[in-house]
Structure formats: structure tokens, C-alpha cells
Structure 1
Amino acid sequence: MRNERLRIAVAAGGWTHASLAAQAGVDAKTVERWLNLGRTPRRVTAFAVAELLGEDVFVLWPELRQPKATRSVSPELVALYERRADVPVSLFADLMAQARQRIDVLVYAGLFLHEGYPRLRELLRERAGEGCAIRIAVGDPDSLNVRQRGSEEKFGHGIESRCRLALMHYSLLNQLAGVELRTHGTTLYNSLYRADDQFLVNAHVWGANAYGAPVWHLRRNGDGGMFDMYAESFDAVWATAVPVQGG
């Protein structure tokens, strides 16, 4: 299986197989196996390569994050980040780019995605064009819970304006086949970002901005696990959300 995260990082940095191999102290065939066969380098080499590429080593090779002894905590846990700010926006975009069946987004605003990845709308348009079903639930800026969150996070009315700006971004996709945009007024316990059988879950902590709260990366592993719990939570919010008319 190809390592798409690594491929994107290598291409973005203008590296060739040979140039990266020379800097990492391996041969070009080894780099090719990392890219095209999904091989994982030795831990020391992986950290050195990640530093060369300016990427998080655990984004390039998530399997390095979890020691075998801790896997019993949950077989669905790929990685745990202390803060959302520690998660490269490229990981959100990469997971969405790989989605073939479904993309779900549940946020109040989530503008960091648009700010950190200006091609987000184009990416979603491409995925919808390939038959991927996309559901986006953005906070209703006039709802009591959104205003309350602004007060709790000392954001004031800023969160309401960010919700409106998020709606402006996504409304440009609202007329596309396969894309649904709704607003919700629920208490947002977690922001959810789903791409097929993977979830990025941004937990919310009272009084803290979302960028300072933890994120866990889940991959579905059978029925009834953590992944399914968050998928059901999304569906429950979606059922209460109001479709956005027009585009």
C-alpha cells in the first residue's frame, strides 16, 4: 500500500528518491519501498526523514506512535495528540483526499481547515465528483449554544462571525450533487472529521479554545467500537440539523 502522506511531503519539498536517500543515509530503493510499498523505516531513520521533510513523524508513519504494549487500550486508536495545534492540517486534507465513500464534518466553524489548506473547497468538490457523499454540519451562529461557547472560550461574538464565515466557504459547494450542508445548534462536545473508516476527534475542554484541546485519530476496527460511537453521535446531530438553502 502506498504511503500517500509521505508521497505528498516528498513532492511538496521537491525531493527525489535519490536526494532524500542521500540525506537519510539509505539507498534510493529503500525510499521507493517507503513510498510505494508502505514500508516503515527504523525509528531513528524515520525521525531523521521527518525532520528533513518538516513533517510530524507520526503523521508520516502513524504505526510508530503506539508501542505494542499499549495497543490493548483500543485497537482503533491510531494516534493521540495533546493539542489540535499539534496536528498538521495536511493530515486532515490527506484523509479527505483518500476518502472514496464518505466525508463527514461536524464543527461550529472549523476555519483552521480553510486557513491552513486553501484548496479545501476544491478537494471536496473533487471528492464529490468521484461519488463521495459529503455531509457538513456548521454551527448556527444565532443559536444559544454557539453564543455560550463564545463566552466560555472568551471568544465573545467572534465565534458567531466565524460560523457565518464557515457557512460562506461551504455554501459554494451546496449545489453540488453529493454535498449536504446543514446548521446545528447542539452543544458541541467534540468536533468530528470523518473520512471513510477514519475519524479525527477534537475533544472540547471547558474554557479552552479548540486548538488547545486533544485530538485522537481513530480507524474503525469492527462493530461497536469507539469509531461507531462517534459515527452514531454525528448521525444524531445531523438528524436535528437544518438544511442550508441555496448556495
Structure 2
Amino acid sequence: MVSGGWTCGALAGVVGVDPKTVERWVNLGRTPRRGVALKAAEALGEDVHELWPALRQSRAARAVSPELVALYEQRADVPVSVFAELVAQAHRQVDLLVYAAVYLHEAYPRFNELLRERAAAGCSVRIAVGDPDSACVQARGVEERFGHGIESRCRLALMHYRPLLATPGFELRTHGTTLYNSIYRVDDHMLVNAHVWGVNAYRAPVWHLRREGPGGLFDTYADSFARAWDTAQAVEE
């Protein structure tokens, strides 16, 4: 039983979490994420900081963003199943901003089929890959000591996605932006592959974000995707 006569199941339903999560708050003293904590405190009619003192620190003082789900030291540490499972559960949108990321098709041969299924279910699927002839892509090859390899991988990525061009809800574009981060978004989840000068993307870190509300770290990257998408050129059938 939670304070105020609430059961764990009832409170879980109000704030949108699993009842076992609420049980961990009550029995193990766990502190929920700030957005969830605020909803729970409002439902209980309590002060959120009295319920969970650990949340007293200011947003500016917090060492870790509440939107951070996981941090991987390098992309190679992220199982492909993590992204594939997110895509399989997509309800609204799937957005990719990459130069190539052909590892998705190499490690998950059903990736195109999965995207086609989500588009058929009403999801918007937007894929932006690097323009192999752009100066930025060619510069990245030099910086990573990969030469023309990055350009060829961009062309290979286009070959992978072209069979989807006739799929309603699917859009494919090429971009020539300086790619500071590769962005993999599925609804309110996002994997951000931060690029490091001179380092191949598979060796650079990745953070998994989950959107908590407007104006957070998630929205910073979502806005970046939108700006890059607006500069990209549509690939026609």
C-alpha cells in the first residue's frame, strides 16, 4: 500500500509505469525519474522532494540528464537488437540521420522488412544518409583514414534502402552536412552516436535517451535532425 490509500497498481496506472516499479520505490527506496516522480507526487498530493529527497538538487546541479537511459563507451558495444526492438515497437516515427550505418543491414538482414512493417502500420519512416559526392563525406573519409571507403558505404546504404522507395510513409534523402552525431530515433527513444575526430563511428560513444518533456536533451537532438532533414535532397525511384 502507498500513502493516501493508493495501491501500487493504481499509482502505476496513473503515472504510466509497471506496478513492480512502484513496489521498488516503496520497498527498496528507489528514486524514480524526475518526470515520473512529479506525476506520482501530484497524484498522492505530496511534495515530490519530501517523497524523494534525492531529487532536491537543481536541474543545473544534476550530474546526469534524467533523459539518459544508458551510455555505451562505443557503438560496437550496442547490440543491434536494441535498435531493432525499438523499431519493432514504433507507433509514430522512425528517424535516422547517418552517413551510412550499413551495419544495421549487415547485422539485421530483416531491417528493410521491419521498416516496411512499421510504415504499413502508420509510422513515418525518414532515412537520411550521406551524399557520397559531398565535401563533408569525403572529408570524413580523410579524417578517419578510411579514404573512399566511407563514400562507398554511403552508396551501399542507398542500395539497401532503395527497395523501400515505393513504400507509403517511407522517405529517403541524402545530406551533405557535417555529421557531429548519428541520430537513431524511434518515437520517444533515441540513440545518439557521438562522433570523435579521427575515430571510426563504431568506436565512438553512444547514449540512449528517452524523452521526458519539452526542452530537454532529447529535443536538442530531435531539432538537429529536423534541420539536417530540411537541407537533404529526396531520392526518387
TM bucket by the smaller chain? 0.7 to 0.9
Q: 1:214: which partner in 2?
A: 205
1:127 and 1:219 map into 2 onto residues whose CA distance is 20
- Aligned-residue offset at 1:140: 0.2
- Aligned-residue offset at 1:72: 5.4
TM-score normalised to structure 2 length: 0.75
Unaligned runs of 5+ in 2: 1-17, 25-53, 56-60
Distance verdict in 2 for CA 1:71–1:116, change over 3 Å? farther
1:38 and 1:107 map into 2 onto residues whose CA distance is 38
1:38 and 1:212 map into 2 onto residues whose CA distance is 38
Q: 2:35: which partner in 1?
A: none
User: Is 2:170 the counterpart of 1:155?
Assistant: no
Distance verdict in 2 for CA 1:71–1:196, change over 3 Å? farther
SS in 1 for 2:174: strand
Q: Counterpart amino acid of 2:73?
A: E
Q: 2:190: which partner in 1?
A: 199
1:239 maps to which of 226, 230, 237:
230
Distance verdict in 2 for CA 1:71–1:163, change over 3 Å? same
Q: 2:15: which partner in 1?
A: none
User: Is 2:169 the counterpart of 1:178?
Assistant: yes
2:112 and 2:62 map into 1 onto residues whose CA distance is 36
SS in 2 for 1:142: coil
Q: 2:80: which partner in 1?
A: 89
Distance verdict in 2 for CA 1:240–1:38, change over 3 Å? farther
Q: 2:96: which partner in 1?
A: 105
Q: 1:80: which partner in 2?
A: 71
SS in 2 for 1:180: strand
SS in 1 for 2:104: helix
- Aligned-residue offset at 1:218: 0.2
SS in 1 for 2:125: strand
Determine which structure has more spread, i.e. the larger CA radius of gyration. 2
Q: 1:52: which partner in 2?
A: none
After the TM superposition, which parts of structure 1 deviate over 4 Å for at least 4 consecutive aligned residues?
Answer: 37-40, 68-72
Give CA-to-partner distance per residue, 1:93-129, whole Å, 9 cap, x none.
0111111000000000001111111100000000000
Q: Counterpart amino acid of 2:115?
A: L
User: Is 2:155 the counterpart of 1:164?
Assistant: yes
Q: 1:226: which partner in 2?
A: 217
TM-score normalised to structure 1 length: 0.72
1:134 and 1:158 map into 2 onto residues whose CA distance is 27
- Taking the TM superposition and a 5 Å limit, the aligned residue runs for 1:6-17 are none
Unaligned runs of 5+ in 1: 1-36, 43-67
2:173 and 2:107 map into 1 onto residues whose CA distance is 23
- Aligned-residue offset at 1:73: 1.6
Q: Counterpart amino acid of 1:211?
A: Y
SS in 2 for 1:177: coil
1:126 and 1:139 map into 2 onto residues whose CA distance is 24
Give CA-to-partner distance per residue, 1:158-181, whole Å, 9 cap, x none.
111100000011111111110000
